[in-house]
Amino acid sequence: MNTPLTHEILASRARGVLRGLHTNLAEVEASAVVTRDGFTVASLLSTGTDPDRFGAMCASLLALAARASKEVDRGNLRQIILDGQQGPLLLTHGGDSAVLAVAATPRANLGRLILETRRVATDLASLWTQT
C-alpha cells in the first residue's frame, strides 16, 4: 500500500462501500473510513466538515476509548457510540487498519445501525488484505 496507485484503488473501493451503506440505510447522513493514525481514506461528509480534522478527532477518540476499555477489563474495543442531540455517531473498528465513522439521524434504529456498521467495517477490513 505504498504506491499512490494502490492508495487510490483502496480509496475508490472504500468510497463504494460507503455509498452502499448510505443506500442501505437512508438514516445515515455522513460516513468516513479513517486509519487508526487519523488519515481519512474516503468520506461522504457534509460540505462544512473537514475530512482531515474529522479523521484526526476520530483516531484520538478511539485511542482514549481503547485505553479506558482495557483499564476496566472490557477487552479490545470494537465500537464507540456517541449519542448527540442530532443523532448518533458510531466509530467501528474494521480490522487492524480501518475505522468506520458513521453519523445518522435521531430516528435511526440503533440496533440495525450497530449491526450494519459492524458488517460494513468487516467489509472494509477485507479491502486492506486485497491491496
32 vs 51: CA distance, rounded Å = 8
The yes-or-no verdict on residue 2 having pLDDT over 70 is no
Who contacts 14 (Cβ-Cβ below 8 Å, separation ≥6)? 33, 41, 42, 98, 124, 127
Q: Which pLDDT tens digit goes with each residue over 50-90?
A: 999 999 999 899 889 989 999 999 988 889 999 999 999 99
Question: 3 or 70, which is more confident?
Answer: 70
pLDDT of residue 131: 57
